[in-house]
Each structure stands twice: as C-alpha cells, then as structure tokens.
Amino acid sequence: MSPEKMTRMANQIATFFESQPDADKAGSVAAHLKEFWEPRMLEKLAAHLKTGGEGLSPLALEASKRVTA
Amino acid sequence: MKDFIIPTSKDMDMGTPASKSTEMVTLTIDGFDVTVPEGTSVMRASAEAGIQVPKLCATDSVEAFGSCRLCVVEIEGRRGTPASCTTPVTSGMVVKTQSSKVKKIRKGVMELYISDHPLDCLTCSANGDCELQDMAGMVGLRDVRYEAVANHFEARDTSGEANAQFIPKDDSNPYFTYDPAKCIVCSRCVRACEEVQGTFALTIEGMGFNSRVSAGAGGDDFLSSDCVSCGACVQACPTATLQEKSVIEMGTPERSVITTCAYCGVGCSFKAELNGDDLVRMVPYKHGEANRGHSCVKGRFAWGYANHSDRILNPMIRDKITDPWKEVSWDEAISYTAKRLRDLQAKHGVKSIGGITSSRCTNEETYLVQKMIRSTFGNNNTDTCARVCHSPTGYGLKTTFGTSAGTQNFDSVEETDVVIIIGANPTDGHPVFASRLKKRLRQGAKLIVIDPRRTDIVKSAHIEAQHHLPLLPGTNVAVMSSIAHVIVTEGLMDEEFIRTRCDWDEFAHYAEFISDPRHAPEATAMLTGVDPQELRAAAKLFATGGNGSIYYGLGVTEHSQGSTTVMAIANLAMMTGNLGKNGVGVNPLRGQNNVQGACDMGSFPHELPGYRHVSDDATREVFEAIWGGKIDPEPGLRIPNMLDAAVDGTFKGLYCQGEDILQSDPDTKHVQAGLAAMECVIVHDLFLNETANYAHVFLPGSTFLEKDGTFTNAERRINRVRKVMAPKNGYADWEITMMLANAMDAGWTYTHPSQIMDEIAATTPGFANVNYEMLETRGSVQWPCNDDKPDGSPIMHVDGFARGKGQFIITEYVATDEKTGPRFPLLLTTGRTLSQYNVGAQTRRTENVVWHEEDVLEIHPHDAEVRGVRDGQYVRLASRAGETQLRAKITDRVSTGVVYTTFHHPDTQANVITTDYSDWATNCPEYKVTAVQVALSNGPSEWQEDYNAQAAQSRRILPAAE
Ligand code: SF4
Ligand code: SF4
Ligand code: SF4
Ligand code: FES
C-alpha cells in the first residue's frame, strides 16, 4: 500500500470524527483504526510516523501515534 | 394457476385473492357452514370449504373479472345466477354450487369456448396442465353442438382461403411462446401483467369475437414490447396460449422441490419442477413470503447456465499461471492445494494466506469458509464481496440502531404511504420488490426518488414519482442533510418518538448542527444540483405524509461517504418516527442473494458470526470451545487490503469461493497486480471466470440446484435452498471446503449442512432457535429467532432499539477526492440491468443476452454533441485509473455532466475505469463516482487487447491424459 493511499484512508477517518461531538476525537480515530486495520497496516502506519508522518492531518497524526504506541 | 400437474392441497388455486379483513362472516355452501373474512368471494369461500366451483377467468393472483360465467352459482333469495368469483360473501348467505340450472349454463359456456378451440389436446404442450381441459371434464362436456362459422385457430378454411382471424404463434421471447390460436381471451394474462408485475405490457384489442391479447402497440411482438419477461402472464394463463418453451420441449414435469432463487437479495421462493433430474421449469411459489408468487426473468427463466458447456466439472491445477491447466482428480487437487498453502505459511508466516467468501453461496458454506480461515489457516484474513457492496450498511446501522439489519419485511411495503428510494434502481436490481412497491404506489402511496438517473421507477405506466431529485454523484450526504434541515427547521419532526426512543440531548446537539444555514437546500444546491424548492417539498412530504419508508441500494453505500449516508438515512427515519412498525423503516436492498447471510456468518475480517468483534474474549471463547485451538484477536485483512499486501509481498495465497474479484472489484489493474503477485490463487467457481486467469488451482463448484443450505434475503429471511439434482461436479461446495480444511488437518465430520446450521445456532444468539426441522415446517423465518423471539422478527426495534436508545449522528458532507477537472470533466456512475446479474457469469450464459448483449455508456445528448458522439458509436472511456471502449447510448435519463454504465460484461470491464477510493469507515469502494472523459474511439484500447490475449492464453486446458 502506497503511503499516499494509507494517509488518505487515515485522514478520511479523522475527517469523520473531527465532525463528531466526541470529547476525545483522537481516541475515537485510534479506536476505529484498532478495530478495522490489520496489524500489518498499523505497522506501516508506525513506519510512516517514524519518517515524519507526512500527509497525515493533525488529528490523524495524533490518533496514529496513539494506536501505534 | 397452472399448477394442476403436481397438485397439493396447499397450492390449490383459490380463485380470488385472500381478503385482509379481520371481520369474519359465516355462510352456508352446499349445506356446509363456512367462516371467512369479510370481502372474500363466494368462489374462495367454497374453495376454503374444499368445494371447487368451475372457473376460467378467475385465478387467485389477480382480482376477479367476471367474464366467463362458468362459475355461476345459485344463492337463496337472489334472482338469477351470480358469478361466484365477483360476488362477495354476506352473513347467513345460502349458496348452492351445483344445480341443474347452473350445470346447464356451465355446459353452454364450455360448448361456446370449445367450438372455437382446436381439439388437439393429445399433442398440445399443456396436455395435463390445462384448465380448459379440466373444466370441460368438470362440467361434463360431451359434445359440441355449435358448428362455428368462423374460428381463430385454423390457418386456412376448408376452401383453402387464408383465415383472417388466424394469428401465427409469437415465439420472439426466448423463454415462452404466445399461441393466439389457443387463447380463450380470459384476460388473466393482462390482469397479471398489470396487477402482479405492474408493467402494463398487454392489452385486449378489439371487441367481442374480434378481441385478442396484444403485447405492446400494433406491430410489436413480445420481445419488442414493454414486456420484461417476468412470467406472471404465463403463470396466470389457463391454457397453452402462453407456455414455457422448456415445457414444450421437455413435456410436463412430474415432481417438484421448493427452493430459493440464487440471484438477487429479494430471495424469491420457487418450485423447481422436474422430470427425473431434468429441470423443466422454475415456478414462483405462492407461499413464498418474500415474493408471494411473483418472480422476475432471472429466477424464473435464467437457470440454463447450470448445464452450459462452459461449466468446468473437473478440478485443475498448474504451477504457473502461464502454464495451461491440467485436469486432476479431486484427491490430487485438494492435497496439492493444501500443501501449497501450508508451504506458503511456513515460508511467509501464518498471516500470508486468506480467503474470500461469496454472497452467492449459502450461509453454511460461508460459515465453513470463515471457520476454515480462522481456525485452520489460523488468521482472520476472511472477507466477502459484501465488502464491496453493503459493508457501510453494517457500520452505519450498527452505530445508529445497534444492529446492522434492515428493519422491515417486504410485506411492510403494503402499508407504506411515502417512500424514499435513494441510490437504488429496484425495477432492474430487485424486480419483485419493485412490483410490490408499484402495486402500493398505484393504490396512492407517494414516491420520492433520489438518483442521478431518471430510473424506470421515476415514471412508468400508471406510476409517477412526486419528486425526483437528480443529484450529482457523490453528494448523497449533502442532499440527506438538507432534507433533515428542512424537517428540523420547520419543526416537522416526531418529538414524542425522539424523546421516548432516542437520547433527547443528543438530538438537541444534532438539531443545532443540522439547522445551520449551510445545510439549507438553497445552500447545498450549488454542490448537489438539486432544485431547492423540489427538495423542500420532498422533505415536507416525507415528514407529513403518513408511514414513511426509505429503501436504498448501492448508490448509497458505494461512495467515500457511504457509511455517513447510511447514518443520515437512519437519522431521517428516527427524527420522523418511522421505525418499529409496519409501513416504515430503513430498508437496504441487498445486491446478491445472500449478502445479508454472508455478513451474518462472520465473513468480515473483524467480526465473528453474529457481528461480534474478534477482540472480544467472551465471543472468541464460544467459538474456541467448539472449534478447538485459538482464534487470533486482531482483525484480518479486507479485500482491498489483501491486494495491497500482495503487492507489498506479504500476502501470498488466496482461496476465492464463488467470487470474481478481477471483474467485480474496482481498479482492475490494481486487482490484476495483486493477483499476479500471489503464489497460490484458488478459484472455486462454476466457470473459468476472470480471476481464474490468475489462478493456480481451479475447484469446480456446484449450482444452487445441486446442494442443500440456506440463503438469508434482504429482509433477514432465512430460506431453504434444496438439492434438486446431484452435483454435476461431484461435490456440493460445502463438501469441497471441508475436504480442503481436512487436508489441512481440520478434522471436520459434517455429513449434512443441517449440522452446520446447528453449529451456527449454538454459537450465534440471533440464530439460536433456527434449525432445518423448523424451516421445514415454517417455510422460512426472519432472524433474530431465539427464545425471546421464537417466531422470528418481521419488524425490528419494535419496543426499543437493539442498542437501547437510537443514536443521532452528525453527518457533515465531505466532497470526495474524486473530482472532475479539465482532463476528466464528466462523472461516471455505474449500475445494473434487469436481465443480467452482477458480473454476468451466470446470466451471460443464458438467453437473457437478448435483452442486454453488451454494456453501453449512457450519455446526455448535450455531452454527446460537443464530443461529436452519435448513438451506437464506439467511444473511449478514460479515467486516471485506465481506459476502455464501449458503445454510446444517447439519452436524457442521465443529466449533463454524468455518464452511466453497467459492469456485466468482461469485454468492457467498466472496473478498469473505477478507482481505489473507498468509504472512510469500511473501505467499500467508491464505484459510483469516477471522473472520466469520453471521446470517439478507433478500436479496443491497448489494455483490452492485452487483457484478452492474456485471458485466452490462461484459459488453455491440456487434453486429459488417456
Ligand atoms: S393468453 Fe391465456 S391468459 Fe391471456 S387471455 Fe388468452 S387464454 Fe387467457
Ligand atoms: S412476462 Fe411479465 S411483463 Fe411480460 S407480458 Fe407477461 S406479465 Fe407482462
Ligand atoms: S432475481 Fe431476485 S427478484 Fe428475480 S426471481 Fe430471483 S430473487 Fe426474485
Ligand atoms: S371464473 Fe367467474 S366469471 Fe369467470
């Protein structure tokens, strides 16, 4: 999976939760990632974060950090 | 109803439709007391008492007409001899169905009919299956006194002159013939076409002796008329006039088995009628609760693929996809496959293989495939083609209501007052449901259609939508939010429902969001292209018009905001109080026959059967206790993720049951790359489908006629599929999966699918009380079916939502990244047609191709003109993903800026064009929006040529060794 595709998918999820009233939006995004993304995909996300997480929206970035921590 | 040949009392023709009244009336018929609902005809009341009154023009699928006068009876205190089919019962009525007076009249009527009917009964195709014959026998007709001066059935008179009244047989329809020589002009066919099917293709032309049945306008035959070949008229015809060609060829059947259609999500029940193991015809079953005796051209007639010469009956293997196929024994194929899969796991890890189940397969098969993957492969890399159609329904409805099920049964449509259809084309995709809906619309229910195209349901005979909102593809959320905006800002919501059934504070927050002027129809019109006045009127109609129901299809789910639109639909139903009773609800129209079942059976990578997440310890323990071994608590790969992982080199082996991902999944080139990167692709199917071009193992599958099991239709109805003949390939599909699992040391011992259902019931609360014995007695049941709901659940959320309180979700519109621009200025959206099914592997191998032999591109006259495209010309369709070539059809069904095509044929491969964009929550691909350009074409695209060359190369089969 190309980094662009991965960041687009993560950003799409973040965009949805951005609009929700959830108190902890990053937590909701992280929970969604954990629920639906296979570990290989999360590993790729972690690797992408290591190199700066380019292209991830601020909320997606925050959530990615939590889910890969 | 021509079901005489295989009579069972249950299937007897009652003459007129059942009355729905709850008031009961008692009368006396031939000395017996009979109690029936008010509004019942005397004819039906007699039938209830076991007394058959002779009849010709009446049948219980249509309203009585009273034209033949064969059914006359005597009623005490009434003058004359009233027709029993048109006379309603009254309390205390005393009826005599036999008397010398009525007998004489009946004989006279029969004499007249027979004097204008050929007497070739012995060689007639309806011999033994003809009501005219039966009635002649029943009234004791022994001679015909009239010498007919003119008749309709002799081509020439005795002097050799051509008979002007003679009309030759019309056999233009591939499945049935119309032989006017045998017509008794009872008009049952005309009424069936109107009342049951709702197409109004037939009329009676002329008067008196000159009256004839006619399809379409003058000069039309059945094929060129509006007829959609549903078969309702054939079913209603009492004579050989309208007759299945298969019966003409093979003779009348001698046994029948009740089973379920394997095409769309309506899940119609059929009687498969056979001679030995030769299938003669499929007849819609009148006690089928989804279809109530109706059918469409696919289920009724398009089953010839089961015997098609393309069907592969022996297993085949090859080391490389560039090799030709080699036929081998089942043993060799299975052990070869098991070894290759285990070797891959040894080399690349447990998670390097997975499987895809199909929504075409039975619940039991699907359950076994995911069980094999989770417990034998040892990972959760299982997915289903529901991924690419209704996964957003699962996510959206679970979030809002607490369960991913559609809320109603199909009968519910009979009580609806206002219907919204969004992103669905029921007359093509779910034809039997469409007929039932149209019947309700003709009774006065109102219709709102939200669709980029002017689909047939928008305007057809005696039906017209009150509002059609032709939105731009990709703007569903904006339109749904605007509708909600109008309802909330004008105070039209059902406050009591919201207060009792939902969380009021949550709603207040939602109301604040949706009331913002940015959601007003005037503000969103810029994005959606929908007239704000029309939208306001539609919103008001829905909120105030009585029982409101919403039906939706893949035009909702297959978008980057698919899940959000599903939640917007759920919001709309909740705010208007349209849940938990008849006539309302949120109704996903599922595409394939068992989409619902495939989802229920745990074929998604994150969910075990019954929609329980794999991370849930208690759920895993339930299955581990029965399956043995441990289940991985992490979600597996979804189909698009599998392909990505294959390209990345971490996913190497795929078992693909009944699914043609290369043709049906988006962005064909990416699918190709993924498949090509795998080292063991196993295709388990009827035909060498497109995916098989990249396969190393081919396991021949069985058709729905060759196995036992269950399908669950769009209304959660579990219907039995029954084996009517032995599998031509040797094994039912569940046996093949079991052989593979056992070759990988699963140790399974099922001997019948009913045992698999028992395991499902034991592990999945919604199915707890389901078993084959119960289905045998009840016919079908809608889940949940357990101790709480022993009779199943026709309507969901009656006293409360599955999750407790219904949840309103904020639905902010987000434009898709797929945008038009100078290179790709048009939006392509995709759909399906009536006669073809999905990738067409089955329907293309039947006579249905006469209606749709190729995929065409619908384009608006204006867009065509500026490109110099004329009707019927080949055009090149290109997107950033790829390009292909197909014929243009110029029509104003689509708006300017929008083009449309179907994906039934591999030659066009519309999915070369679609992109890898997908729904934010579920990765359901965005099939419905692709930015494209259209230009005149000078021949097949390079890609098409390469593809065809590779396919031809790959389909070679080595001659079997002697
Ligand atoms: S075609 Fe059959 S159903 Fe129609 S009018 Fe003639 S006999 Fe009756
Ligand atoms: S097959 Fe169906 S659509 Fe065609 S004429 Fe008969 S009832 Fe009408
Ligand atoms: S395709 Fe659908 S509507 Fe047609 S017969 Fe089959 S289940 Fe019924
Ligand atoms: S059956 Fe009653 S009039 Fe024909």
Per domain, the residue ranges of chain A are 3-68
What does the alpha-carbon distance between residue B620 and residue B186 come to, in Å, rounded to a whole number?
Answer: 62
Q: Which residues of B touch A38 (CB under 8 A)?
A: 351, 380-381, 605, 634-638, 641, 645
B817 and A13: CB-CB below 8 Å?
A: no
State residue B709's pLDDT score. Answer: 93
- Residues B618, B752, single domain; the answer is yes
Q: Tell me, what's the pLDDT at B4?
A: 43
Q: What is the DSSP string of B690-755?
A: SGGGG-SEEEE---GGG--EEEE-TT-EEEEE---S--TTSS-HHHHHHHHHHHTT------SHHH
B571 & B604 share domain: no
How far apart, in whole angstroms, are the C-alpha atoms of residue B31 and residue B927?
A: 65
Residue with tokens 């919201």: B498
Q: At what angle do helices B532-544 and B476-489 cross, to 10 degrees?
A: 60
Whether B756 and B622 map to the same domain: the answer is: yes
**Smallest-distance ligand from the CA of B69:** 4
For residue B284, give the nearest of B232, B325, B324 by alpha carbon: B232
Tell me the whole-structure pTM to 2 decimals.
Answer: 0.89
Measure the CA–CA gap between B501 and B480, rounded to whole angstroms.
21
Domain presence at residue B365:
yes
Burial (Cβ within 10 Å: 0-12, 13-18, ≥19) of residue B159: exposed
- B214 within some domain: no
Residue span of the structural domain in which B688 resides: 316-389+595-782
- Ligand 1 atom index nearest CA of B192: 3
B263 inside domain: no
Residue with tokens 């009876």: B73
Q: How far apart are CA B65 and CA B82, in angstroms?
A: 13
Q: Whose CA is nearest to atom 1 of ligand 2?
A: B229
Q: Which residue of B has its CA nearest to A20?
A: B810
- For residue B962, the model assigns a pLDDT of 44
| B637 contact A CB<8A | yes
Render A26-58 in DSSP notation, one character per residue.
HHHHHHHHHHHS-HHHHHHHHHHHHTT-TT--H
CA trace torsion B216, B280, B57, B195 (10° rounding): -50
- Predicted local confidence at residue B743, as pLDDT: 94
Cβ contacts of residue B613 below 8 Å, gap of 6+?
A35, B606, B607, B619, B635
* B690 within domain boundaries: yes
Mutate to test the pocket of ligand 4, among B67, B106, B112 (most ligand atoms within 8 A of CB): B67
Please tell me if residue A39 touches chain B, with a CB cutoff of 8 Å: yes
State whether residue B605 sits within 8 Å of chain A by CB: yes
Same domain, yes or no, for B638 and B513? no
Run means of pLDDT, 10 residues per run, chain B, 962 residues: 50 91 93 94 93 93 92 92 94 93 92 87 88 89 77 79 83 91 92 92 86 81 89 93 92 90 89 90 91 91 84 92 91 94 94 90 93 94 79 86 86 93 88 92 93 87 90 90 94 91 88 92 92 95 94 86 91 92 89 83 89 90 90 91 91 91 81 92 91 93 91 91 90 94 93 93 89 89 87 85 85 82 87 69 77 85 92 89 87 89 75 81 82 84 81 81 48
Question: For the domain that residue B87 is a member of, what is the CATH number?
Answer: 3.10.20.740
- Chain mean position to CA A61: 6
B447 and B460 in a common domain: yes
User: What is the whole-number distance in angstroms between the Cα of residue B252 and the centre of ligand 2?
Assistant: 22
Tell me if B56 is assigned to some domain: yes
Two tokens at B812? 């902010």
The answer to whether B650 contacts chain A (CB < 8 Å) is: yes
SS3 B412: helix
Is residue B381 located within the same domain as residue B412? no
Say yes or no for a CB contact (<8 Å) between A40 and B817: no
Please state the atom number of ligand 1 nearest to the C-alpha of residue B236: 3
CB pairs under 8 A between A and B: 61
Q: Of B49, B83, B98, which residue is a domain's last? A: B98
B870/B894 same-domain check: yes
Complex confidence, ipTM: 0.90
Torsion angle defined by CA atoms of residues A38, A40, A46 and A52, in that order, rounded to the nearest 10 degrees: -110
Closest ligand 4 atom to residue B58 Cα is 1
Q: Are residue B675 and residue B775 in the same domain, yes or no?
A: yes
What's the pLDDT score for residue B366?
Answer: 93
Nearest partner of B590 among B617, B551, B641, judged by Cα: B551
Is B48 contained in some domain? yes
Q: Domain count of chain B? A: 4
Q: Which residues, other chains included, contact B395 with Cβ-Cβ below 8 Å and sequence gap of 6+?
A: B404, B563, B566, B921, B922
Nearest Cα to Cα of residue B538 among B479, B599, B459, B602: B479
User: What does the DSSP assignment read for B907-944?
Assistant: TT-GGGTS-S-B-TTT--B-TT-EEEEEEE-SSS-HHH
Tell whether B363 and B445 lie within a shared domain.
no
* Strand partners of residue B582: none
CA B234 to centroid of ligand 1, rounded, Å: 9
Instruction: Output B361 or A69, whichever has higher pLDDT.
Output: B361
Check whether residue B550 and residue B583 sit in a common domain. yes
Q: How close B645 gets to chain A, by Cα (Å)?
A: 7
pLDDT at position B192 = 94
Residues touching ligand 4 (Cβ under 6 Å) are B 55-58, 66-71, 83, 85
Cα B702 to Cα B705: distance, rounded to the nearest angstrom: 8
- Asked whether the beta carbons of B734 and B753 are under 8 A apart, the reply is yes
Taking contacts as CB-CB distances below 8 angstroms, the residues of chain B near A1 are 641, 644-645, 647-648
Domain assignment present for residue B157? The answer is: no
Boundary-marking domain end, from B544, B568, B588: B588
Q: What is the CATH number of the domain that holds B849?
A: 2.40.40.20
